[in-house]
Structure 1
Amino acid sequence: MTFYDRDDELESLRTAFESPGHEFYVVYGRRRVGKTALLKEFCADRPHLYYLAAQEAAYRQREKFVEQVADSFDDRVPRTDGWDDAFDYLGDRLAVEDRIVVVDEFPYLVAENDSLPSYVQAFVDERLQETDSMLVLCGSSVSTMESEVLGHESPLYGRRTGQIDLKPFSFREARAVISDDIADAIRSYSVTGGTPMYLTLFDYGRSLAENIQTHILSPTAVLYNEPEFLLRTELRNPARYLSILEAVALGHTTPNEISGATGIDSGPLSKYLQTLRNLRLLDRSVPVTASGQKSKRSRYHVADEFLRFWFRYVEPNRSSIEEAPSLVFDGTIEPDLPMHVATTFEDVCEEAVWELIRRGDLASYSDVGRWWYGEEEIDIVGLAPAADRILLAECKWTGDPVGRGLVADLRAKADSVRWGPRDRSERFAIFSKSGFDDGLGDDLDDNWSLFDLDDLNRILSNT
């Protein structure tokens, strides 16, 4: 399988490995995000030992680890009575010959033996530091990695020499995989999101409709039950979490709305929401002008485009999909898909704003995000407190060109955004899938910027 991008992460690992002395790296992130692929690409042409932990008894985990060490060094498998013996054996081997040692799915080991971090600490302090070898602990349970490896209470705290929190691909990064034109790429990305496994499953020589029906709506397809699989590997009783994700995907975004849609009282609900945030399946947002911790105007959204698509269209229609998937696509998904894509388009446009800021093609803004108050919303608002400057932008995924009406609406809504002094400097931008009415740009002053899909393609091009 082709390995895409991750150049910065590979360079970080290469630099660490080639520097003198030992290295202890931590690599973590959501499932399917490509952690194992990254580490295998890094290890491919270097001496390494790769151990993938499994959900099995502690003694069997240790036996397999020792067997992997012995195999890597072409050695006879020794007898070990505990993890301290296992790490001593690894230390003896590394004292003779340096290696990259990768322990993948480390949380599985911790689940069976919560003393593992202490054994690793002793190994790092007493054996690894005397070598030029590199230890990498990798895991998909973000909460376990952050508490048991990176957290202040962990025996391993302060030992790591580097860490990589691997995230899904941005739209710009995903373009290396998606070979469609910009409009179709946005549509595809609204279904797959930036998770490498999902991105690479699609055949971009076929239509989006064919890909959806083949890889998602077919009961035999790998993505048909994917969200359930993800939740069941993380949670013992995922039913309520599934109902929360479905409610949010269907537009119930405030705690009160989620509670009403799921029947879960606000007390327990807050714990479920926090768990889903820890798993990086839900994101919480507040208006960009508000305080993130104190604001009561929070909204939740599904943190992954594929999961948002699945909970919006697949989960509510499972029975019908089992009987007639093509009818579900034609009658339910296809007519509503532009509404789904429109949300993704807003995220793509925000990504473009940050890219323009990085390039210096747009004035700098320290905070960029959505704004809302009551019934009024603005898709993108950028704040530059030091300069008393504000950016207000709308994103339109419609079949018609944007006209003067939207310009007037955005100007009017700007007055509702209570931020900065009265004489603040205001900048405006509009992103449009279908372009703009003839002459609109000529009617606007230099405080306005208009971007069509061709502009977006240039901004977010990988070339």
Structure 2
Amino acid sequence: MVPINQDNLVQLNETFHNSNSSFHIIYGANKSGKTTFIRDFMVKKSSVYFSGFSSTAKILFPTYIEVINRKFKLKQSSRYYNTFESILSLLTEQTINEKTAIIFDNFQELIKIDKNVLNILVKYWDTTFKKQQITLICTLNNLQYQEYFDILSPKIISLEQFPFENIQKKPVLTHTDKFYIYSIFGASSYFLSFYNTKLELTKNVYQIVFQPNSPFYNYGFEYLQKDFSDIGTFSSILHAIAIGKHKIGQIAEFLDVKSTYLTRYMKKLQDALIIKKELPIKQNYTYSKYGRYYISNHFLRFWFCYVYPNKNSLDIKKHTPVLKKLDTTITQFIITPTYKNYIIKRIESNPLKYLGFSPHTFGPWWDNNGNNIDLVAYDDEHIVFVNILWETKEKAILQYNHLKEMSTYIETTKKKNYIIISKQTYLNNL
């Protein structure tokens, strides 16, 4: 799966304008921009859009019939169409004379209503839709259904965080403020709409997040309740990850439980695209015990780092201790991890420009003894070791010898190079 961006939109448009039918799955966590992407895609196209939302068949499916009636100018009573199969059956009866996109947004909501919708969709795709001028698109916020779709060999798009470029376009903010905002809130236009550029960062955090009546005060709980009924353990796990407990053993020790107890919770959080598992280079994803877990959503990470553990104080509006903690720990817990990820993605997007060669192996490296390198990349002849720090150039360069020492744990005869990246790299626009 590849991150969704403008290139994905271009590719999807090209596929749509092809005469062949096609089936696409777009994965993305809640609030990741799936619907925004779909709206952009639908511009100047024949389309039938069905929105999935928490409901029952009796309420939801009649709204789908209204969509079909409007699209094909029908005069049908919705009371005769109260199942998902009846919706698809009605669609197959219509004459489609031009390429048309049929879109089921938040398809997981249909699965909650009827678990058979997956099999029904597969049946209608095989027997009817793929033989017509149709681009079928389903968006989901959960990977647990992926195996059901695999038999259709759909084209997969994975939606990640909104790109930092969304914030870079705001000229009234300093470079540093832009990165702090991105690290805390992400780059969703929804979050950014609440940010007052006339106020400094801490005041914005206070007004948007830390006050009990602020719009995102209960964000973490509300976010989890969309996917899980009992959120206590899930919340505790996310808090542990947010404060730097990235290994399952560290999380288990922090919560005073056995690692085996956490396994099913970690799997559900991964399926819901709330956390992601990363491995050092050359490790097998399925079997490796070297995995580290990270929260995918920037603001969810911030919320579980600073709001969740301080609810006692924030509920009674004692903000000062929390703001002091924010001031002393935000670089460690929020800014530096975001910066590392941002720089790694920039290098990955154009390694020839930044590294001088195109590596066939690319990623972080660590072992279970505490040794760590932010990025190792190599081809058949060259290998480069990169450490990334949110520090001044003068402080960062002091880590050069440490990086060389860490590199000795990786046996190689390739030509070595070492790179230290400081925050000055970002301030100078990389």
User: Could you say what the CA RMSD is over the residues aligned between the two structures, in angstroms?
Assistant: 2.8
Provide the rounded CA distance (Å) in 2 between the counterparts of 1:282 and 1:128: 35
| Among 405, 410, 421, the residue aligned to 1:418 | 410
* SS of match in other structure, 1:401: helix
Quote the residue 2:362 is aligned against. Answer: 368
Per the alignment, do residues 99 and 289 of structure 1 end up closer, same or farther by CA in structure 2, a change over 3 Å counting?
closer
Deviates more, 1:22-31 or 1:92-101: 92-101
Percent identity (aligned): 18
Distance (whole Å) between structure 2 residues aligned to residue 114 and residue 252 of structure 1: 36
Question: Helix, strand or coil for the counterpart of 1:402?
Answer: helix
Q: Which residues in structure 2 correspond to 1:315-334 (within 5 Å)?
A: 315-324=308-317, 326-334=319-327
Query: C-alpha offsets along residues 224-276 of structure 1, whole Å, 9 cap, x if unaligned?
Result: 22221121111121110111111121222222221122133222211111211
Shift of residue 86, structure 1, vs aligned partner: 2.5
Residues 1:25 and 1:289: Cα distance change in structure 2 (over 3 Å): closer
**TM-score using structure 1 length:** 0.82
Residues 231, 410 of structure 1: alpha-carbon distance in 2 compared, 3 angstrom cutoff: same
Aligned partner letter, 1:352? R
**Matching residue's letter, 1:354:** E
- For the 8 Å contact 1:95–1:130, the answer to whether it is kept is no
2:386 aligned partner: 393
1:328 CA displacement? 4.1
* CA shift digits 1:376-431 (9 cap, x unpaired): 544423231522x321222232357237642233223322x22323xx31101111
Q: Residue 428 of structure 1 is aligned with which of 410, 418, 425?
A: 418
Residues 385 and 163 (structure 1 numbering): CA distance in 2 closer, same or farther, change over 3 Å? closer
For 2:160 and 2:316, the matched residues in 1 are separated by: 36
Secondary structure in 2 aligned to 1:386? coil
Q: How does 1:7-406 map to 2 (within 5 A)?
A: 7-78=6-77, 79-80=80-81, 82-95=83-96, 99-144=100-145, 146-148=146-148, 150-152=149-151, 157-158=152-153, 160=154, 162-172=155-165, 175-176=168-169, 180-195=173-188, 197-288=190-281, 290-324=283-317, 326-340=319-333, 341-359=335-353, 362-373=356-367, 376-387=370-381, 389-398=382-391, 401-402=394-395, 405-406=398-399
Q: Does the 8 Å CA contact 1:48/1:99 hold for their aligned counterparts? A: yes
Structure 2 residue identity aligned to 1:368: F
The answer to whether the 8 A contact 1:350-1:368 is kept is: no
d(CA) in 2 for partners of 1:71, 1:382: 55
TM score, norm. by length of structure 2: 0.88
Cα 1:192–1:271 shift into 2, 3 Å: same
Find the aligned partners of 1:178 and 1:320 in 2 and give their Cα distance.
36
SS at match of 1:49: strand
User: CA distance change for structure 1 residues 369 and 98 in 2, over 3 Å: closer, same or farther?
Assistant: closer
One-letter code aligned to 1:7: Q
Q: Is the 8 A contact 1:23 1:135 kept in 2?
A: yes
Give the Cα separation in 2 of the matches to 1:95 and 1:362.
Answer: 51
Q: Which runs of 5+ in 1 are unaligned?
A: 436-451
Q: What amino acid does structure 1 have at the position aligned with 2:35?
A: T
In 1, Cα distance between equivalents of 2:98 and 2:128: 13
SS at match of 2:417: strand
* Largest Rg, 1 or 2: 1
Please say if residues 33 and 196 of structure 1, whose CA atoms lie closer than 8 Å, have aligned partners that are also in contact.
Answer: no
Question: Taking structure 1 as reference, are residues 98 and 322 closer, same or farther at Cα in structure 2, changes over 3 Å only?
Answer: same
Instruction: Check whether the contact 1:219–1:322 (CA below 8 A) recurs between aligned residues.
Output: yes
Q: Partner of 1:110: helix, strand, or coil?
A: helix
